[in-house]
Amino acid sequence: MDFSNFLWMRDELSLLAVILVLFLYDTFATEKSRRAFSWVACLLLAVQTAFLFVNPATGEAFGGMYQTSPVINIVKIVLNIGTLLVLIQANVWAKSPDMQVRRGEFYVLTLMTLLGMYLMISSGNFLLFFIGLEMASLPLTALVAIEKYHQLSYEAAAKYVFVALFSSSLMLLGISFVYGAVGTLYFEDIAASLVGTPLLYVGLVLFLAGMGFKISIVPFHLWTADVYQGAPTSITAYLSVISKGAAAFALMVVLFKVFSSVAAVWQPVLWGLIVITITIGNLFAVRQKNLKRFMAFSSISQAGYILLGVIAGSAVGMTSLIYYVLVYVFSNLAVFGVISVIENATGKVDMDDYNGLYRTNPKLSVALMLALFSLAGIPPFAGFFSKFFIFYAAVEEGFYVLVFIALLNTIISLYYYLLVVKAMFIRQDDCVIPTIQSDGASKLSISLCVLGVLLVGLISGIYSSIVPLSFGM
C-alpha cells in the first residue's frame, strides 16, 4: 500500500497529533503539572497554525476522496485563528471549580470538532463530507452539555442534539437521492455526469435544508437562540463563529464543484433564503433582552450576509466570503470575550445589566463598542470592508435587488447594535456592574480581537493575497 497519500493530509495529521498529545497529557499528568494545561493547549495550536502557514499542501489523495488547495489552506488558518482566540478566552472559565475536572475534555473535544471541519472543507466525496460534518457536530453537542448540572446547559444540549440528528438525516436523504440520480459520490464525477432530473432536484433541496440547519439559515434557525443562550459562553462563541464559517465554506465548495451546472435551480432558492434570513434575524434581534440570545439572532443575520458570497458564485464571491469570515471571527469573538468576562465576574448577561457600564469598566465598554460597530459595518473598522466586498461580489453578478434589501437591513442592524452601546454609555442605573479586574488571558484575547477589528480592514494585503487563490463556478 502506498502511504505517501497521507502526506497530503498533513494539516489533519498535525492537528491529530496535537489532540493526541493533549489527551495523553490530560490523562497522565499529575495534579501539579496539569496547571499549565490551558497554555500548553494554546501554544500547541499556535504552533500547528504556523505549520499550516509555512507548509501549504496542494493536491488530492486517495483517488480524489481528499482534496486540498491554497485557498482551503487559508480557510483552515482562519478557523485555527478563531479557535485559538476561543481557547485563550475560555481560560478563566475552564479553571473555574465547576469545570476543573472536565477541563481536558473541553480542549480535546473542541480540537476534535476542528478536525471534523478540516475534513469537511477539504473533502472530495460525499462520504468524507458527511463524516467530517458529523465529526464537527457530535463533539459539539457534548460541549454544549459540558456544564451538566445547569438546567440551561442540558436543555440546550438536548435541543441541539435532536436538531443536529434531524438535519443530518435530511441531508443523508438528499445525498441518497443524488446518488440514485447520478450513481457516484465523488464530487468531480457527479459534476461531470450531472443531468437535471427531478430526483436530483429533490436531493439538492434536501441537502440545502440539511446545511441550512448547520449554518442556521432562517426557516431552519429555531434551535439557534436556545442553544446559544444555554451553552457556556465560550462554546457559544465557538458555535457562532467557527462552526458557522466552516459550514458556509463547505456549502460553497459543494455548490461550486458539484452543482454548478444546475445553478439556475439553487440560486433562486438561495436568493429567497438570504432575504428571509437577514430580515427575520434582524427583526427578532431587536426585541431580545438577553445578550447571548441577542448575539444568536445577530449571527443568524450575519449568516445571511455570508451567503451573499455563495450566491455570487464567482472567485470574488469566494474571496469575500473568506474575508468576511475572518473579520467576523475578530468582531464576534471580541463581543463574546467581553460578555464572558462580565458573566464570569458577576453572572449577568442581560442588556439592562449593562446600563452605565462605561462609568465602571471603560476599557471593556470601548472594546465592546468597537466590535459592535464592526459587526454593524461602520467605515473605519474591518466590518465595513468585509460588507463592502461581499456586496460588491453580489452586485457584480447582477443581484441588485438582493443587495438593496441587504443594505436596508444593515440599517436595522445598526439600530439594535446601538441599543447596547446606548445602554453602556448613556443610560444610568443604580446597581451598576462594579469595576472588574479581568485576568491576563481575557485581556490578551480581547485586545487581539480589537486589534484585528482595527487593522484587518486597513491592511489591504490580506484581501488581495486571497484573490489569486480563489476559484468560482
Q: Report the interface residues with another protein, using CB under 8 A.
A: 126-127, 130-131, 134, 138, 141-142, 145, 148-149, 151-152, 154-158, 161-162, 164-166, 168-169, 172-173, 175-177, 179-180, 183-185, 225-226, 229-230
CB of 176 to another protein, least distance (A): 4
CB of 247 to another protein, least distance (A): 17
Q: How would you class 426 by CB atoms within 10 Å of its CB: exposed for 0-12, middle for 13-18, buried for 19 or more?
A: exposed
Cell of 254: 459543494
CB of 328 to another protein, least distance (A): 25
Q: Which is nearer to another protein, 157 or 312 (CB)?
A: 157
Spatial separation of the C-alpha atoms in residues 404 and 56, rounded to whole Å: 38
Q: Which is nearer to another protein, 98 or 396 (CB)?
A: 98
User: How crowded is residue 27: how many other Cβ atoms within 10 Å of its Cβ?
Assistant: 9
Spatial separation of the C-alpha atoms in residues 25 and 310, rounded to whole Å: 41
CB of 254 to another protein, least distance (A): 16
CA-nearest of 128, 238, 107, 114 to 187 is 128
Q: Which is nearer to another protein, 131 or 269 (CB)?
A: 131
CB-based burial, 396-408: b 16+ in 10 Å, e otherwise: ebebeebbebbee
CB of 222 to another protein, least distance (A): 10
Q: Which is nearer to another protein, 226 or 311 (CB)?
A: 226
Q: Which is nearer to another protein, 116 or 356 (CB)?
A: 116
Helix and strand element counts for the chain (H, E): 21, 2
Distances 5 to 117, 118, 439 between C-alpha atoms, Å: 20, 17, 45
CB of 294 to another protein, least distance (A): 13
Q: Which is nearer to another protein, 130 or 256 (CB)?
A: 130
Compute the 3-state secondary structure of the chain and give helix, strand, coil in percent, each to the nearest 5.
80, 0, 20
Q: Which is nearer to another protein, 138 or 423 (CB)?
A: 138
Spatial separation of the C-alpha atoms in residues 71 and 87, rounded to whole Å: 24
CB of 170 to another protein, least distance (A): 8
CB of 8 to another protein, least distance (A): 21
Spatial separation of the C-alpha atoms in residues 300 and 432, rounded to whole Å: 30
Q: Which is nearer to another protein, 291 or 453 (CB)?
A: 291
- CB contact at 8 A, 12 and 111: no
